[in-house]
Amino acid sequence: MNKRIRELIVKSNGYWEHGDHNMPSTVCFQEEDLKKFAKLLIEECAELAKHHVMNISTYRDAEFVVRQIKQHFDAEEYNPNLKEKNT
């Protein structure tokens, strides 16, 4: 498992239940903590996408990508006042 994923699990109060000799460890969350983990993961992905788009495009394009990722995962409420990219 990626080190950053482990850090996000810990940050969102996830914990490991260690299996026996034939069973792997399992990551466990309370429902609200699982939502927090998902939100942290989506935020990190959106910021990573924004960084890469900024290298090849404009800030407006980067913000569009961030909104699309968040909306795809219902990570933020849809805000009709945010204008979509018109190209």
Residue 63: which domain range?
A: 3-72
Q: Can you say how many angstroms the Cα of residue 19 is from the centroid of all Cα atoms in its chain?
A: 27
- On whether residue 80 sits in a domain, the answer given is no
State the pLDDT at residue 80.
42
- On whether residue 77 sits in a domain, the answer given is no
- On whether residue 81 sits in a domain, the answer given is no
Q: Which residues pair with 15 in a beta bridge?
A: 28
- On whether residue 49 sits in a domain, the answer given is yes
Closest to 37 in 3D by CA, of 6, 2, 16, 71: 6
User: What's the rounded mean pLDDT across residues 4-19?
Assistant: 90
- On whether residue 39 sits in a domain, the answer given is yes
* Number of domains into which the chain is organized: 1
Its pTM stands at 0.63
- On whether residue 86 sits in a domain, the answer given is no
State the pLDDT at residue 78.
41
- On whether residue 83 sits in a domain, the answer given is no
What is the tens place of the pLDDT at every residue in 31-82? 999 999 999 998 888 888 887 776 666 777 778 888 888 887 776 654 444 4
- On whether residue 15 sits in a domain, the answer given is yes
